[in-house]
A and B are shown apart, each in its own frame.
Chain A
Amino acid sequence: MDLGQFILMRQELLLTFAALVVLVAEVFTGEKNKSRIINLTLCLFALVTIIGFIPGETGNLFGGSYQSSQLTVFMKNTLNLAVLIVFLQAESWLRKPENADKISEYFILTLSTLIGMNFMISAGDFLMFYIGLETATIPIAGLAAFDKIKSKSAEAGIKLILSSALSSGILLFGLSMLYGATGTIYFADMTGLVTKDPMILLGFIFFVSGMGFKISLVPFHFWTADVYEGAPINVTSYLSVVSKGAAAFIFSIVLFTVFKNIVELWKPMIYTLAIFTMTLGNLFAIRQDNIKRFLAFSSIAQAGFILLGILGAGELGMTAIVYFVLVYVFTNLGAFGVVAAIHNASGVENISGYNGLYQTNPKLGLLMTISLFSLAGIPPIAGFFGKFFLFTAAAGSGYYILVLIAVLNATISLYYYLLVIKAIFIEKNEQPIPTFRSSNAMRIALVMCITGVFVIGFASGIFEYIRSISKLFLN
């Protein structure tokens, strides 16, 4: 085997290198200079993100265990961008004195989960998929319990690790069934052997339940709101965008490639899950007052919309999902960025605390409004196009009733997003959040989000590009 082939997994190698550099830097920096690690990691990771965009070779490694194609490279770049924004948003939070001794932990854990997600997306067999999934999940539990002194944070950590361990156990049981029925764990070999055999169906159902936990589909969503509320905001944003995005990518890849022969059997299942996820996520979001819980339920509802893309199986569905996640990265991180900035400055986490925000911090108020409009899918912002393509994909497969339900749900979601906007603009408050200036890194992150939200919506070339690479991937 030629060592030059390892260039195919350049993104994973770069990330591993970055994580190791942070580790070494942690060892060789004195107690006083720990905050320098932040600057180092930000520069390093920005570099990694940029290098990732350089086009390169694609192909298979390790006898097909690792597959790299233009689509997976694009997915990884999307995740890299998201993590870069998360890191920029976390900068001022990490500089707080209570976090001084665990700066590099945050970066190393985040980077190692990102490596896991990259391997998971590139998986060519179920073993690599499982290892990637676990590498992506276990460190996040540590991250969720990052605020050691807060009991809420510890609670979030334990809830995340136990529910994710249970879900991966269920998923593994499904995989063992699939292995028993087909005799292989490779995606490419299994595709031809998947039939309507009862054992395969059982395995498939276990597999979907396990993945349902990771993407937080109803009825597997119970951990989501608690973990999102208890974890520090910068971990929550990572969980809700990067972790969910990666799981959605691999879920659609596996459904579209390995299980394409039994597409008629899994469509009704996904159909039901989509209806429940959208509706329940939305209904629970209405009654929340904590902004993190609110965004958690809104992200459950968004996961329901992603399922619409999966129903539009094939090239258009794949394109719609990748495009939606790309938009979702910028949109949701915009909203989380504002929440993080406000929390850093004033500690406010409740929606009622946002009353009168526009009078004191007009820019943040406006940014939050745009992000929430984009989440709700109001034209001409990118969120509208993301939803539009998902609905098109589902309608293209003839699911008109489902699209109707989805549109009704989008309307309900507009109601609760508007509740926040009402608090920001209309509600009067005797003591609104005082005017503050966020750090430069946070400002850069927010500008990136807002640019992304507008540019991706209008640059049709991006959608065309994703479409061409999904076509290459699926054929």
Chain B
Amino acid sequence: MIEGIGIEHFLVVSTLMFFTGICGFIIRRNLITMLMSIELILNSVNINFLVFNRYLYPDQMQGHFFSLFIVGIAAAEASVAIALIINIYRSLQNIDVENVNEMKY
């Protein structure tokens, strides 16, 4: 726990990060930036878990472990996503999401 900083400060930051991530995912047109937005979402979740654990249930470890696993899985997800983005780049010569539109409706 940090002196003078309450739980609500952390939660405001994490909520802002979450919605920035959602916004970025919807607005941005570059596949890598979309992936970065998803990482932002996952990190906001990490903050949430850690802060809840630290401030509300200090005698447990569940939140800490959960966020560790989230970090690991996010890495796996990012690596697969980047591999697929490279695959897209090979066939389209760019990674703009506007061009990934062969199938619609």
Pairing of A with B = yes
> Whole-angstrom distance between the alpha carbons of A130 and B100 in the complex?
29
- Asked if B77 contacts A134 (CB within 8 A), the reply is yes
Please encode chain A, from 257 to 271, with 1 for each CB lying within 8 Å of some chain B CB and 0 for all others.
Answer: 000000000000000
Instruction: Give which listed residue, B44, B69, B88, contacts A155 with CB less than 8 A.
Output: B88
> Whole-angstrom distance between the alpha carbons of A71 and B103 in the complex?
39
Please encode chain A, from 123 to 146, with 1 for each CB lying within 8 Å of some chain B CB and 0 for all others.
Answer: 000110011001000110110010
- Asked if B52 contacts A179 (CB within 8 A), the reply is yes
Please name the residue on chain B nearest to A141 by beta carbon: B80
- Asked if B77 contacts A166 (CB within 8 A), the reply is no
Interface residues of B in 44-62 (CB under 8 A from A): 44-45, 48-49, 52-53, 56-57, 60, 62
- Asked if A172 contacts B35 (CB within 8 A), the reply is no
Interface residues of B in 14-71 (CB under 8 A from A): 18, 21-22, 25, 31, 34-35, 38, 41-42, 44-45, 48-49, 52-53, 56-57, 60, 62-63, 65-66, 69-70
Interface SS of chain A: helix, strand, loop or mixed? Answer: helix
For residue B12, CB closer than 8 A to chain A, the reply is no
- Asked if B84 contacts A158 (CB within 8 A), the reply is yes
- What B residues does A173 contact at CB under 8 A? 18, 41, 44-45, 48
> Whole-angstrom distance between the alpha carbons of A148 and B90 in the complex?
10
A158-B88, A161-B80 in contact; A176/B45 too (CB < 8 A)? yes
A397 to chain B, nearest CB (A): 34
For residue A472, CB closer than 8 A to chain B, the reply is no
Max chain B C-beta neighbours (<10 A), residue from A138, A162, A166, A169: A169
A-B contact count (CB 8 A): 121
Please name the residue on chain A nearest to B104 by beta carbon: A226
Interface SS of chain B: helix, strand, loop or mixed? Answer: helix
Please encode chain A, from 177 to 218, with 1 for each CB lying within 8 Å of some chain B CB and 0 for all others.
Answer: 101100111000000000000000000000000000000000
- Asked if B81 contacts A158 (CB within 8 A), the reply is yes
For residue B102, CB closer than 8 A to chain A, the reply is yes
B31 to chain A, nearest CB (A): 7
- Asked if A138 contacts B49 (CB within 8 A), the reply is no
For residue B92, CB closer than 8 A to chain A, the reply is yes
- Asked if B49 contacts A229 (CB within 8 A), the reply is no
Max chain A C-beta neighbours (<10 A), residue from B65, B69, B103: B103
> Whole-angstrom distance between the alpha carbons of A284 and B105 in the complex?
9
- Asked if B80 contacts A172 (CB within 8 A), the reply is no
For residue A157, CB closer than 8 A to chain B, the reply is yes
Can you list 6 residue pairs at the A/B interface with Cβ under 8 Å? A142-B84, A158-B31, A158-B84, A161-B81, A176-B48, A185-B62
Q: Which residues of A contact B (CB under 8 A)?
A: 126-127, 130-131, 134, 138-139, 141-142, 145, 148-149, 151-152, 154-159, 161-162, 165-166, 169-170, 172-173, 175-177, 179-180, 183-185, 225-226, 229-230, 284
